[in-house]
Structure 1
Amino acid sequence: MTSALKTPAAENTALTLAAVDLGSNSFHMIVVQVEGGQQRIVDRLKESVRLAGGLNPDGSLDSATRERALACLSRFGQRLAQLPALQVRVVGTNTLRQARQAADFLAQAEAALGHPIEIIYGAEEARLIYAGVCEDLGDTHEQRLVVDIGGGSTELVIGQGHHTRHVESVALGAVTFTREFFGDGKISKSRWQAAVMAARVVLEPLAYTYRQAGWTHAIGASGSIKSILRATGVEDPMGVITPDALKDLARQVRKTGQIQKLSLPGLADDRQAIFAGGLAVLVAVFESLGVERMSVSDKALREGVISDLLDRLAAHDSRDDGVEEAAERFHVDMAHGMRVAATAERLWASDRPENAADESAADHAMRQTLGWAGMLHEIGLAIAHRGYHKHGAYLLAHADLRGFSQADQHRLSLLVRLHRGRLRTELLDDVPELWRARLLRAALMLRLAVILHRARNPANRPQARVAIAQSRIVLTLDAEWLADRPLARADLDAEVARLAKAGFELSVETFAEAEPPETTG
């Protein structure tokens, strides 16, 4: 539906991409050079920030953690300063998902990095982790179980080849479990058993499904699992973790009795403080799912982000797949939605001066979102016709949509909410300034496109353009087309009245067939 962004490098020119993973324990950055279809890591940075350890009960971050995080991001930002925005993607995971009062921190973090931060849902984090691990495994069609234990959550994915079948993100993390069960640094047998049992309780709802699906290869990712492999005495990074090795390791940890006295092979200082919590979670995973052996991958979320970023630059955006999956799940009339989307995007393109500069990244992103909103504007009909735009907005705000960040989904949800009925501009008050005017403009285009396709005639392709100047909107239509559709004219008259209540003046003008509207894009 939407055209791809122009990649900043030709096919035979090296392209530099960067991915930043703001995890609950550590912040990671990789810089990758892509040339001739091959990827080469040219820089890798990691700092232990312990974001989850600084999360207060009210959802705020304590001052020491904020300062530590911002100092790290400032250093990362220096490395990213020379890279264009389209070649960098920054994702935040569990702790930033949980942080309810972190708007000011996020603003400071984005300023330090020089790039926007996308907070991704757990299912999207799991999908990207799986994509990263697949970079290590080649294009085989075996069924795989991938487990990643982070600081605040654990992602579990069963997939075949590059396609995921079962995706879960659960609230089990090395930092959070260490703090909850071993917060004073002491490890007793009763505390250990309580930690493993608590993790098994969380895993129980998915255990049966995962056991029934099965796998031929179990792979662990992330620093926690890599540190556990080393602590079992296996020096080979391609080695495996077994249930017996985990039992022996758990026995050693309990026998030591204190986190500060842990002395295990290859256990780094930054891992020692959270090792017990991560180990308890992995033991519970093995016991709940019946894992018999697990190899360890050096790839994880950040490699998956690079893979996804490459797909976006190559015009294969995973969010397109997410929209199609949502349309199928909620029985959306996709043919009608695509007609509305096409008209909405043409209206958006028509409201640009002929001599306008190339489309900015934000404008491109908004036009994409407008297209997706057009396709899914009727998704709320799966619940009820009355107020279906409100139902649709709720579904899109809370569903797991492949490829979408929380901010992506919020913008999509707002467009569907505003596409009919009273234009409630106050819903945009909390939207960041970068997006507010763009969202309002897109909402106006979508409202008009929906009206122009109200008859649901597949042959209908209205010739139209829009010009918006502050609060004045001029819609120009083919005179003959409008004359043949008195109901559309009545709908537009009603829209004039609705928009007037929101402070907009909509006027409808016509042109003769010999004077087709000029559009750009």
Structure 2
Amino acid sequence: MSDTQPDKTARASTQTPRLHAAIEIGSTGIRLIVAELDAKGSLRILDRASKQSRLGRDVFTMGSISRDGLRETIAILGSFSELLQGYGLKPDDIQVIGTSALREAANRDTFIDRVNLQTGFHVRIVEDIEENHLMYLAVQKALQDERSFLSRANAMILEVGGGTTEVMLLKKGQMVSSHSLSIGTLRMDEQIRESARQPREFIEMYLESNIKTACDVLAEDLPLDSVRTFVLIGSDARFAAYCLSGKNFDHYAVLDRNQFVEFADSVASMSLQECMAQYHLSWSEAEGYAAGLTIERMFLEKTGADIVIVPNVSIREGILLAQVQGMDQKIEQELRRQVVASARSLAKRFHYDEDHATHVKNLSLELFDALKKEHGLGKHERMLLEVAAILHDIGTYLRTSGHHKHGEYIVANSEIFGLNREDINIVSNVVRYHRKSPPLATHVNYIALPREARIVVLKLAAILRVADALDRSHSGRVRELSFERTEDRFLMRPSQSLDFSLEKLSLAEKGDMFEDVFGLLPVLI
């Protein structure tokens, strides 16, 4: 954490830094971090703890968490609770997340309930796209002084876990896509156990097939030979960085491509006993590191990357940073930019009308800002409207007729960086209702939303319908609007003096939801 000038931050320094803690219940271990965060989001690690866990092996072999796995988890969390008491932190104060093993466990709900009743910790399962979001936050923080690593060239960010491999692709700093792949060290280990082949031979065959398929999908978003920076996250990557950069590194390490490939091959060629003896590792660490480094090496070889960046961070730092991201406008703006970039990338995949979508987006945001008093929504909902406006017509890729329904399906079954499942469900419903009938009791995807989310959909869809009507001709004629309210009308006055007959006709057809939701009749002057 860098020091700041006392004379410039006199008021900020009077604010006592707050203690935060996060626990990750992962596939291979349960890990704790305690840190001090100030109002500017500066983070100082105070303590770490980690215990190996059998959860991933339970879930990926049996489909659910065993009784022994539950008892083990409760015991570990109990020991963490005692450690946290020394910092004056209680279970209710702690962010606890579960990743891929808990996402897939058939008995995850009863597991979470038992953990809560016996430890007091509230476990929240994060979706794969949110996991990517948290990892990106941590990477961004670690590389904050060297953001050129991500902005000057195309980059891939990769994290290999026990159950999944998380991948993000950036095109000169802009998020292109993020994916969660069913490739993990524990999954691979189980496949090896079931195979009659030699482990080394099987690993190459199994991974070559799976990674090639995954990379073919990734290449649709960004040619992998254009990737010049390869960012690796995870304990196996940090192990390589410790070994190759003098056993120690601060915020991040920069490794040569060939250097990393040679090291990964060297570890993979050793027996577990040799690896344990040479690097002073436990059995599970040696097993996991060898598999993880092999996966990372094979992804690296599919790219044109010259360097490997290893940030000294984990998802737990991302959890803590997410708690204070609202305090740092730069972080907030950067995340919004990446969400919007991811939405644009999805839209381009379906050959959208970029000029029309951009104009409707701008009109939607103008209307949203002018209606703050009426809708009472915040920055997050504004971002969801921006995403929905970009994507509102992508259903035309399948068919023009009923494209609002096709668009809903595409969005609901896509990943947008930075948006969790509820966000995507809201956006997909807004896309559905940007035209034609309003929500009905027979519309399952709308009714399935929580009441608060349904209200958000109504407000955002009402605004989007008006914005879309104002660009009925797809020519961007309506610009520089000024707004005025009368008792029951919302007047929109463009700066141009043109014939807006087509836009007025469209507004008359699509303005009904706006009037129902806000109690104002939208009128184009």
**Pairwise TM-score range, normalised by the shorter structure:** 0.5 to 0.7
1:94 alignment partner in structure 2? 100
Structure 1 position 372, deviation (Å): 3.6
Say if 2:407 is the partner of 1:389.
no
* Whole-angstrom CA distance in 1 between matches of 2:245 and 2:414: 41
Please report how far the alpha carbon of residue 414 of structure 1 lies from its aligned counterpart in structure 2 after TM superposition: 3.1
Output the amino acid matched with 2:56. Answer: A
Deviations 1:325-378 (A, max 9, x none): 4246343523323433454566574266xxxxxxxxxx7477446534653462
Query: Secondary structure of 1:152's partner?
Result: coil
The 1:263/1:305 distance shift into structure 2, 3 A limit, reads same
Which among 156, 171, 193 is matched to residue 182 of structure 2? 171
Residue matched to 2:3: none
Q: Find 1:131's aligned residue among 125, 140, 144.
A: 140
* Cα 1:192/1:76, change in 2 over 3 Å: same
**Per-residue deviation, 1:194:** 0.7
Structure 2 contact 367–463 (Cα < 8 Å) conserved: yes
Match of 1:404 in 2: 419
Structure 1 residues 199 and 461: alpha-carbon distance in aligned structure 2, compared to 1, 3 A threshold: same
More helix by share: 2
Give yes or no for the alignment of 1:335 onto 2:359: yes
1:72-471 to structure 2, matched below 5 A, reads 79=84, 92-99=98-105, 102-103=108-109, 105=111, 112-114=120-122, 116-121=124-129, 124=133, 127-128=136-137, 130-131=139-140, 133-135=142-144, 147-155=158-166, 169-182=180-193, 190-205=198-213, 206=215, 212-213=225-226, 215=228, 220-227=232-239, 236-238=247-249, 242-253=260-271, 263-268=277-282, 270-272=284-286, 274-282=288-296, 284-285=298-299, 296-307=310-321, 310-315=324-329, 316-317=332-333, 318-327=335-344, 329=348, 330=352, 331=354, 333-343=357-367, 349-350=373-374, 364=378, 367-368=381-382, 371-372=385-386, 375-376=389-390, 378-383=392-397, 384-420=399-435, 421-425=437-441, 426-428=444-446, 430-431=448-449, 436-453=450-467, 454-456=469-471, 457-458=478-479
- Give the whole-Å Cα distance in 1 for the aligned partners of 2:205 and 2:383: 43
Name the counterpart of 1:28.
31
Contact residue 199 and residue 281 of structure 1 kept, 8 A: yes
Native 8 Å contact 2:233 2:311 kept in 1? yes
Deviations 1:125-178 (A, max 9, x none): 664564355258565677566543221233456768866678665433222212
CA distance in 2, matches of 1:385, 1:253: 59
Change (3 A) 1:26 1:132: farther
Distance 1:155 1:370 in 2: 23
Offset, 1:199: 1.3
> 1:91·1:120 contact (CA, 8 Å) conserved in 2?
no
Distance (whole Å) between structure 2 residues aligned to residue 427 and residue 131 of structure 1: 35
Instruction: Label 1:158 to 1:408 Cα distance change in 2 as closer, same or farther (>3 A).
Output: closer
Q: Where in structure 2 are the equivalents of 1:455-494 lying within 5 Å?
A: 455-456=470-471, 457-458=478-479, 477-478=488-489, 488=507
Indicate if the aligned counterparts of 2:98 and 2:124 stay in contact, CA closer than 8 A: no
Deviates more, 1:303-312 or 1:437-446: 303-312
TM-score normalised by structure 2 residue count: 0.67
Report the Cα distance in structure 2 between the residues aligned to 1:110 and 1:348, rounded to whole angstroms.
39
Work out the CA distance in 2 between the residues paired with 1:146 and 1:325. Answer: 15
Offset, 1:280:
4.1
Provide the C-alpha distance between the structure 2 equivalents of 1:84 and 1:372, rounded to a whole number of angstroms.
37
Unaligned runs of 5+ in 1: 1-9, 353-362, 466-475, 500-505, 512-521
Higher RCO, 1 vs 2 (CA within 8 Å, ≥6 residues apart) = 1
Amino acid at match of 1:281: I
Q: Which moved more, 1:190-199 or 1:405-414?
A: 405-414
Corresponding residue SS for 2:45: strand
Does the 8 Å CA contact 1:341/1:370 hold for their aligned counterparts?
A: no
Tell me what 1:515 maps to: none
The residue type equivalent to 2:271 in the other structure is: V
Per-residue CA deviations over 1:187-236 (Å, capped at 9, x if unaligned) read: x9722211122112222353997762253x75643112344667x79971
**What TM-score do the two structures reach when normalised by structure 1?**
0.67
Aligned length: 460
- Counterpart CA distance in 2 for 1:142 and 1:451 is 38
What is the Cα deviation at residue 460 of structure 1? 5.7
Contact 1:211 1:290 in 2 (8 A): yes
The CA distance in 2 between the partners of 1:237 and 1:300, in whole Å, is 16
Q: Please say if residues 106 and 117 of structure 1, whose CA atoms lie closer than 8 Å, have aligned partners that are also in contact.
A: no
1:390-420 Cα offsets, whole Å, 9 max, x none, are 2232232233323222333233223333455
**Aligned-CA RMSD value:** 5.0
- Structure 2's unaligned 5+ residue stretches are 1-10, 472-477, 494-500
The answer to whether the Cα contact below 8 Å between 1:21 and 1:91 also exists between their aligned partners in 2 is yes
- Seq. identity, %: 15
